[in-house]
Chain A
Amino acid sequence: MRRLRLTPRRVAVVLAATVGIGAGVAYAATLTVGSWHLWAGSQTLTKGTCTLTGTTQTSDTYVTQATPGGTNGSATTMLVRSNSGSVDWSFVSFNLSSCSLPTTGGADTATLTLFITTAPASNRTLSLTPVLTTWSPTTLTWTAAQSLTYGSSATTSFTTGTTNNVSRSATLTVDVDALIKNPSASFGWRINDTTGSGNATTTFATSENVNAGRRPQLVINYEK
């Protein structure tokens, strides 16, 4: 076997190679440390409930095709009817400002409750469609309602049943969530009969109704 002779040159080569390998590892590790950004944080939400009802927080009215220039802003009831030539639409909106919700908040759930004082003779399906332009209960007429802008589709619908003096609820979470984020677009909903043919009228209590428990009510479970 041939003996490996140790010369100064061989020692230097071994040392240089060792130093090179070790330094390479250390350099790569240092690069990794210096190149990363790291951050972690959290945000806690506050939950609450806001109930809107009554004349100071609600605007409502109805318009009738048979009287296209008439207004009904002070009526204690409002009508929804599907009958060719004499259709009735109701409108309801709520002022969310009293809930003091920031635009960064949102609705977890939002439920509209309406009280039917006089039910139709046959069960009807009524739809709630968001109104996208401003209206006033004191001036809204059938003619003016034709010029309002509405959502492309109804948010939800509910059935009336045929029993008088009952409450009906509808979920409007997606719309109310959007209204919290953009309060200036709070123009409420149109309620119309989407059953189809037939002549049936549903009568609801309005915010002017003497019986406070029968007035339209919007309950918002919110986060902020």
Chain B
Amino acid sequence: MKHLTKALGLGLAAAATFAACAAAATLTIGSTTLSAGNASVTACTSSLSATRNVDNSGNVTQVNVAGIPTACSGETLSVTLVGSGNAALGSGSGTVGSCGTTCSVTITSFGATVSASNVTGYSFGLTGA
């Protein structure tokens, strides 16, 4: 019985060691997502800019993001229309398709009617494998 107890104890110690490794990896995932400069996570671009179209009432009908590097192909682009005080006026997303020299994404739905007069900027997010 003593031998069995020792063996189980050894096994549990080994499991704990590997579980700790897994936990550390999980922690790394979470912290890398939220911190810049971690070598484990790379970005396919360093900047983006958008243009938008309006209807005759001055409401945004679409946002166009061009000049996206081909390295971002297949990734998901999220765009938020930002207003005064960094308020989110609306947001939408699209997939960066396969493309030639550079890619573009056009987003036409923002979950709300947004007056262009109220838009002071855009926030972008790119995620993908």
Contact = CB atoms under 8 A, between A and B. Distances in A.
B120 A45 contact: yes
A32 interface: yes
Interface of B, helix, strand, loop or mixed by DSSP:
mixed
A66 B123 CA distance: 57
B51 A181 contact: yes
Interface residues of B, number: 58
A35 to B, nearest CB: 5
Interface in A1-35: 3-6, 10-11, 14-15, 17-19, 21-23, 25-26, 29-30, 32-35
A44 interface: yes
Interface in A114-172: 155-156, 171-172
A131 B79 CA distance: 34
Nearest to A39: B43
B118 to A, nearest CB: 9
B88 interface: no
B87 interface: no
Interface of A: 3-6, 10-11, 14-15, 17-19, 21-23, 25-26, 29-30, 32-45, 47, 104-109, 155-156, 171-175, 177-178, 181, 221, 223
Interface of B: 1, 3-4, 6-8, 10-12, 14-15, 17-19, 21-22, 25-26, 28-29, 32-33, 40-58, 72, 75, 82, 115-117, 119-129
